[in-house]
Structure 1
Amino acid sequence: MKSNVSIPKPRGAFTLVELLVVIAIIGILIALLLPAVQQAREAARRMQCQNNFKQMGLALHNYHDIFGGLPAAYYRDPDYYNRGWGWQSMILPQIEQSALYDVMEVSTKRIPRDPDQYTQTVLSAYRCPSDTGPDQNPERNDQGMSNYIAVQGSDSSGGYRSSSDDLGDYGGFMFQVSFIKFRDATDGLSHSLMVAERSFVDKAPERPWAGGQWVGVTYSAGYAGVMRCVWDNDNYKLNGENTWAFSSNHPGGVQFLVGDGSVDFLPETIDGTTLIRLGQRNDGEVVGAF
């Protein structure tokens, strides 16, 4: 009599070669996936940085509506070693930081305080998510870090002045003790740069950028942390090797706030002459598509 009980067949096992092939395939897939994940994360960070610019642009336009002009890059007082509150301090109420503005007693007539719990406040609206610098800028008197500085204009020889009789108007929207109105941008708001990125890299010799400080100019926290010019010069090109270059951790270029409140990503390869033209609000050289 035959039995109806079926005898299970022994299962086939993976050979060592097959296992190694599977592991290799998984490794290849992970290697292909990681760059895509990193690119997606950087795209998200760049978008958040762009949103920061838009928030600052809206704040600057609201400030202009209230006071009839834009804030100065900083309100220099030559009697106090060139110190003064900066433009990012002036627009704190416009980015929902009125309490901080009030407690610091921000004013166009008083010098900003030395580093304390208020001036070292971390303000996400002033930090690029792609930047890996510390919350307080060790290169700028340990004041609160900012990754955004005003475009003072454009110049080929240095782009700054600190004497009391030269306010350093190089055609930008914000500079020392300035009060520029939108009507002064005769080239058109959409053709002139207003704010740019400045990344922080700790003592890196190949890219020695030092970020900025949002409070303004205090002792050992100079004007380069609140404003700079653009140059038609290889040493000062976007993401260039000079400490004062506009820079970012976004691959290939730097984001800028334009006068009309829009945001443009300018490539590192942008023509220097074009950059010079974009850095000025009233030179009569209007740049079209670039």
Structure 2
Amino acid sequence: MCRKSAFTLVELLVVIAIIGILVGLLLPAVQAAREAARKASCKNNLRQIGIALHQYHDAHQSLPTGCIEWRAYRAPPTRRQFAWSALLLPFLEQSNLHQQIDFNVPYDAPANAPAAATRLQVFECPTAPNRQLLRAQTDYAGLYGEIINDRISDDGIFLYDQRIAFRDIRDGLSNTLAVSEDVGGPDSEWINGRNVFVQSGGINDPQAWIGDNEIRSQHTGGAMLLHCDSHVDFLSESIDRQILGAMITRATGDIVQLPQ
């Protein structure tokens, strides 16, 4: 008499348990690999922005203005408020998009709506979530300055209605930060000149007001930051705040030594 072989219920449960354990072990590794790829892409975005800033400087003998015609509180809506990132478009291989923008009217004028809605991969960190904004988002912002070490806020690179040249960065291009991740900030549109900010706390600081732009990322343990010489670092959120503040200022004579 021929017997048919088959799994018993116990054997089946053991196999399912083993598969579950293997999946549980492999899933974190897969997620870590994906995040490593996203971090590499984020770093490459900032690297491209850094190269574009140098090309802009070569063409104009200065970095782009942080914001053209900043709108202060109760300022008339006729002020244009264009961001440094909009000025940078021709050097990011986006000349056609740049030509679609009418820089003679405000950034949020109806004439600029189609261009402003155009999403650009170079301005978006792959780890950051998509947000429902009126215009296309950016996850990177220019550093206006810091108020960590003193109360002088306009000591960074991207100022209102003022151009900074490399010769003005007396602390050294490699020692001075230009652009940082600013994920989830309230003013995160690449065309909007409000995407410059003053750093007041640490990186990914849970005490920083969520309604303000700060150095924030969705990467675990830190954020990507672009230096003025176009190199990019992943800085730990445990970095000393005074060191971070010194890295943001352009001409205070700070000697910055990062921990090894």
TM-score computed with the length of structure 2 as normaliser = 0.88
Structure 1 residues 289 and 270: alpha-carbon distance in aligned structure 2, compared to 1, 3 A threshold: closer
User: Is 1:258 matched up with 2:227?
Assistant: yes
Partner of 2:8: 15
Q: Quick one: which amino acid aligns to residue 196 of structure 1?
A: S
Q: CA deviation at 1:103?
A: 1.4
Quote the Cα distance in structure 1 between the aligned partners of 2:70 and 2:197: 18
2:257 equivalent to 1:288: yes
Secondary structure at the residue paired with 1:13? coil
SS at match of 2:114: coil
The DSSP-based 3-state class of the residue aligned with 2:116 is coil
In structure 1, give the amino acid aligned to 2:204.
Answer: N
Alpha-carbon distance, 1:186 to partner? 1.2
Aligned counterparts of 2:250 and 2:20: Cα–Cα separation in 1: 53
Counterpart CA distance in 2 for 1:269 and 1:175 is 27
Q: Select which of 57, 66, 82 maps to 1:85.
A: 82
Residues 99-138 of structure 1: matches in 2 within 5 Å?
99-106=96-103, 110-114=105-109, 116-134=113-131, 136-137=132-133
Larger radius of gyration: 1
What CA distance in whole angstroms lies between the structure 2 residues aligned with 1:172 and 1:280? 5
**Which residue of structure 2 lines up, in the alignment, with residue 227 of structure 1?**
196
Could you tell me which residue of structure 1 aligns to residue 27 of structure 2? Answer: 34
- Which segments of 5 or more consecutive residues in structure 2 lack a partner in the other structure? none
Query: 1:124 and 1:258 mapped to 2: Cα distance?
Result: 20
Contact 1:198-1:211 within 8 A present in 2 as well: no
- Please point out which of 238, 242, 260 is paired with 2:203: 238
Cα gap change, 1:105 to 1:119, in 2 (>3 Å): same
**Aligned equivalent of 1:191:** 175
Distance 1:106 1:97 in 2: 15
In the alignment, does 2:243 pair up with 1:274?
A: yes
2:188 to 192, 208, 212: 212
Q: In the TM superposition, what is the alpha-carbon distance from 1:155 to its structure 2 partner?
A: 1.0
Three-state SS of the structure 1 residue aligned to 2:235 is: strand
Match of 1:151 among 138, 143, 153: 143
Return the offset for 1:157.
9.4
Question: Alignment identity in percent?
Answer: 36
d(CA) in 2 for partners of 1:99, 1:184: 31
Q: Determine the structure 2 residue equivalent to 1:50.
A: 43
Distance 1:45 1:211 in 2: 23
* Structure 1 ranges of 4+ moved more than 3 A: 9-12, 77-83, 156-159
Structure 2 equivalent of residue 206 of structure 1: none
Q: What secondary structure, in the 3-state scheme, does the structure 2 residue paired with 1:21 have?
A: helix
**Distance in structure 2 (CA, Å) of the matches to 1:158 and 1:285:** 13
> Using a 3 Å threshold, how does the CA distance of structure 1 residues 211 and 75 change in structure 2: closer, same or farther?
closer
Once the two structures are TM-superposed, the CA of residue 246 in structure 1 deviates from its matched residue by 1.4
Question: Structure 1 unaligned runs (5+)?
Answer: 1-6, 160-167, 201-208, 218-222
Take 2:229 and 2:6, find their aligned partners in 1: how far apart are those partners? 68
Deviation at 1:281, TM superposition (A): 1.4
Structure 2 residue aligned with 1:165: none
Count of residue correspondences: 249
CA distance, structure 2, for counterparts of residue 20 and residue 26 of structure 1 = 10
Q: Are the structure 2 counterparts of residues 77 and 22 from structure 1 closer, same or farther at C-alpha, using a change threshold of 3 Å?
A: closer
Q: Per-residue CA shift, 1:150-193, capped at 9, x if unaligned? A: 0112114997xxxxxxxx86221111112111111111111111
